[in-house]
Amino acid sequence: MKNRTIYTVLFLACVIGFWLFENFYSPATYSNPESSNNEVVSGKFLPTSTTGDIVRHEHYMLSYNEPFEQAEWVLYELKKSHLTYDDRKRPYFIEDPKVKTKSADWRNYRGSGFDRGHLCPAGDRRFSEYAYNETFYTSNISPQDRDFNAGIWNRLEQQVRYWCKSYGDLVVITGGILKDGLEEIGDEDVDVPEAFYKIVLRKDTKQVLAFLMPNKESQEPLQHFLVPIDSIEKQTGIDFFEKQTQTWQDGVESGVNASGWKF
């Protein structure tokens, strides 16, 4: 009888503890508590969200897709002033306190064979400690093949920095292609995209390039992965530049025009 009472008390304590965790747990934060910047980039470049779960951080924003446990897109502006080589201490990955449904725990990636691949690169946010640390929210990562992450994806990120140095301010939108039937990892079933996209817009001319890359290493030149924005929109259900004029969208999104971009 005594043992049964102990087990009952322990069971009730677990139930209460779980309820408190679910309803009152507040993850740690890397964001600047004094920041009043709620618009990372002009709203005229904001994509649509298939989930309505848009999160605004000081230095990037995202649309979180809970069923896939990752962002369907991450958007940020890259300026010449951002391109510093400041040495930053790499923090731990933590859950995003602004994702209402809680972003996936980093432990889902442990032992999976996949990297915790940044969508907004930490290397683009070395100009401040807050900016750098914000990229280590788990809402900003997606499972990437290790050779892909360190290889062609990294080369594309470096190319984007080169364009920023050469042409000025850019708007970058990136994410994985999320669809049913993907491989899943971890206790929370984080989906592994088979491909990733990156869309780069020059603010001076509004010229745009879009890349779609399989989630594996390749020695092909970056130009090999150029695609029309329309093709990414069809696969994601996202309208990336809905607030631009229809004439502009028709002229820019239906084809590939790499003139004016130096590779």
Burial-class residue 221 by CB neighbours within 10 Å (0-12, 13-18, 19+): exposed
Using CA atoms, how far apart are residues 172 and 195, in angstroms rounded to an integer? 17
Using CA atoms, how far apart are residues 242 and 239, in angstroms rounded to an integer? 6
Buried-state track 222-232, b at ≥16 Cβ within 10 A, e below 16: beebbbbbbeb
Q: Is 118 a catalytic residue?
A: yes
Grouping H, G, I as helix, E, B as strand and the rest as coil, residue 71 is strand
Residue from 57, 59, 82, 118 carrying the catalytic annotation: 118
As beta bridge partners, residue 141 has 118
| Cα–Cα distances in angstroms (integers) from residue 200 to residues 37, 49, 91, 196, 250, in the given order | 23, 18, 27, 13, 17
| Cα–Cα distances in angstroms (integers) from residue 170 to residues 78, 135, 176, in the given order | 5, 18, 20
Enumerate the active-site residues.
118
